[in-house]
Chain A
Amino acid sequence: MAARKRFPNYLNQSRGWRSWLLTTDHKRIAVMYLVAVLTAFLVGGIFAMLIRIEHLTPGQTIMTAEQYNRVFTMHGVVMVFLFVIPAIPVSLGNFVLPLMLGAKDLAFPRLNLAAFYVYLLGALFTITAMVTGGVDTGWTFYTPYSTTTHGSVGLMTMGLFILGISSVITAINFMVTIHQMRAPGMGWFEMPLFCWGIYATSVIQVLATPVLGITLVLLLMERVFQMGIFDSRLGGDPILFQHFFWFYAHPVVYVMILPGMAIISEIIPTFSRKTIFGYKAIAYSTLAIAGIGFLVWGHHMFVAGQSELATVIFSLLTFLVAIPSGVKVFNWLATMYRGSISFEAPMLYAIVFILLFGIGGLAGLFLGALSVDVHLHDTYFVVAHFHFVMMGGTVMAFLGGLHYWWPKMTGRMYSEKAARVACALIFVGFNMTFLTQFVLGSRGMPRRYYTYLNQFQPLHAFSTFGSWVLGLGLFVVLAYLLASLRKPMDAPGNPWGGTTLEWTTQSPPLSENFVEPPVAERLPYDYRPAETSA
């Protein structure tokens, strides 16, 4: 092996713990965020394992009903609020966005650091709530259960409010960066599609998160002062809580998936060595998903007792929101057509994404159909649906992006062989765990159930075995990624042949990103030889 090259890069250009904790370099902040969200994923994952072990047998396996109720709530809260919502934007987005735009940093670097600490504060409140009695309301906090149950609901509510503030700050930062800091020559329709995804995600975050904020405030008022807004005995309405909650929580699922789709839009052209098919269609469909996503919240409440007219309108709109997602998938396939495709780990994850998100999305269509939803609402069918889109979708895209940009972020290549083994384990384990749950749900197994009728046991056991395979796969990923850090920093600047600006820098980049501010001369995803590009 050649002697280690020690060249200046953002990791070593300044030293000491203060240079990290007080940094305003978006890349260092991204790395700190990465550690935080991966920790959250681990914690949420442990809760998931506990849930599945409990479900090996009906009746008590390793915990009581009250403990189970707290464990599934915690799994949901940690995964949704501490991992899936922030992960891609704050780690990969933070790192890559300025580089892709040819900028030195985000528009508001100090605000970026502030948002990180606010995230940590919110996480602290949430963890404190977990250890001081826990919360057993489910991540959806439906009233009147959440206003009357014991546990640290108040602390949890405050933690989530704080996390929301962090999200909004980061979203504003991203939006302003995209508006103002694109390199000369890079118009809106000349920036990478990843930026479109981040932009649309940020729009949703800015507009929807405050609604969660106010819902949490009202929930707290109800719990502490018995204000009555959600209590029918005092003149309020528990369904109002559901409307408030889902007005935020539905758009937020698009916050969870749009960054993932944005990553896929980067990976596929690179690994097909072909320009993206339908750039504008993909950009517009991103905006369409964000927009229509605000109009479908009532599909979580088909059996809750809202008016029939509302139910019908929500169902119709829910079907409409599927169309732009389909448009994206078709454009990705068309990109692969007559491409020159290689199968490194990022591409494997992209393929897995298309399959699993496709299944999850189609299941969502079923749920949108009124008569079908009546049977499937609040069963394991719904659980399978959202795990397919959130894990089979977002997490797979996150892993794909992590592998894609790993050499850029760390200067090292991971072991491709180990990566393929892990990807296979994850794919198999995931399907074992969650395809089974579609069956469980359609046979009538409700969700959030501690015990179950004996007839469901074989399926539950199979799902649990699947979760062990899945967990193993994820641990293998962690292992080889960490192992790669011990290798010398010898990754090339552009290991995959990407065409976007981040690949024109060294790996890892300098603190200031570019030696000279770049000018965008080529369109992204342009694989034609240099002399023929416009």
Chain B
Amino acid sequence: MTDGDSSEAARIGMWLFLAAEIMLFGGLFVGFALIRMRHEEAFAAARLHLHRSLGFLCSLAMLSGSLSIAMAAERAKRRFLVATLLCGVVFLAALGFDYASVVAPGFRPSQLFFGFYFVMTGLHGLHVLGGIAVVAWLAVRGYGRRIELAGLYWHMLTLLWIFLFPLLYLAA
């Protein structure tokens, strides 16, 4: 197999992996939508306890990360990878602050809305953590075509967040 073939293989593999991830989150989205239909008011009330500003910051971080990783693929300069890393860290920090502000007054996963909130953002956050690890590894070890693949992964996470954010943080 020539090098071109193996990178094509890796690309197909990554798209398939992303398809699997979309199905994973898809189940959560569907479950959330169904349960929300039954509890419109309770969910709307619970939502007010989240900090929209932190949510916006998370969105900004993901979008910037997508931009910087796309630039890294284009320009092949390490600084863009570091920028992506920072965006990831900012995202997790913002999420962490929101968690703290929610848990402190006593909201736990044992209430329906917050159960979904923690599972959805938590699962997403774990994937962002994985993304940070991969980008860090690429920054250290050097990269080639593989940055495009990491970029695809990051874009998927950004896309997921674009759906998560309004669903969880913004009023219907």
Q: Which residues of A contact B (CB under 8 A)?
A: 107-108, 168, 171-173, 175-176, 179-181, 206-211, 213-215, 217-218, 221, 225-229, 234-237, 240, 244, 247
Listed stretches B35-43, B50-58, B95-103; interface member: B35-43
Listed stretches B18-26, B129-137, B140-148; interface member: B18-26
A172 near B108 (CB under 8 angstroms)? no
Inter-chain CA distance A171–B35, complex, in Å, is 32
Inter-chain CA distance A286–B16, complex, in Å, is 20
- List, in ascending order, chain A residues with CB within 8 A of B112's CB: 227-229, 234-236
Distance to closest chain A CB from B152 (angstroms):
14
B109 near A227 (CB under 8 angstroms)? yes
B20 near A168 (CB under 8 angstroms)? yes
B19 near A207 (CB under 8 angstroms)? yes
Check: B28 CB closer than 8 A to any chain A CB.
yes
Distance to closest chain B CB from A46 (angstroms):
34
Inter-chain CA distance A236–B32, complex, in Å, is 10
Give which listed residue, B17, B27, B34, B42, contacts A215 with CB less than 8 A.
Answer: B27
A214 near B109 (CB under 8 angstroms)? no
Given A209-B20, A236-B35, A244-B31, verify A228-B115 contact (CB < 8 Å): yes
Inter-chain CA distance A214–B123, complex, in Å, is 10
What's the interface size class on B, roughly? 20 to 34
Closest to A234 in B: B112
A-B contact list, 8 entries, CB within 8 Å: A107-B9, A176-B13, A181-B9, A218-B119, A226-B110, A228-B115, A235-B42, A237-B38
Q: Which residues of B contact A (CB under 8 A)?
A: 1, 5, 8-9, 12-13, 16-17, 19-21, 23-28, 31, 34-35, 38-39, 42, 108-112, 115-116, 119, 123
Inter-chain CA distance A172–B110, complex, in Å, is 36
- List, in ascending order, chain B residues with CB within 8 A of A215's CB: 27
Give which listed residue, A172, A180, A214, A235, contacts B38 with CB less than 8 A.
Answer: A235
B35 near A229 (CB under 8 angstroms)? yes
Closest 5 CB pairs of A and B: A227-B115, A210-B24, A214-B27, A225-B109, A210-B23
Inter-chain CA distance A102–B38, complex, in Å, is 55
Given A181-B1, A211-B27, verify A225-B115 contact (CB < 8 Å): yes
Distance to closest chain B CB from A86 (angstroms):
17
Closest to B111 in A: A228
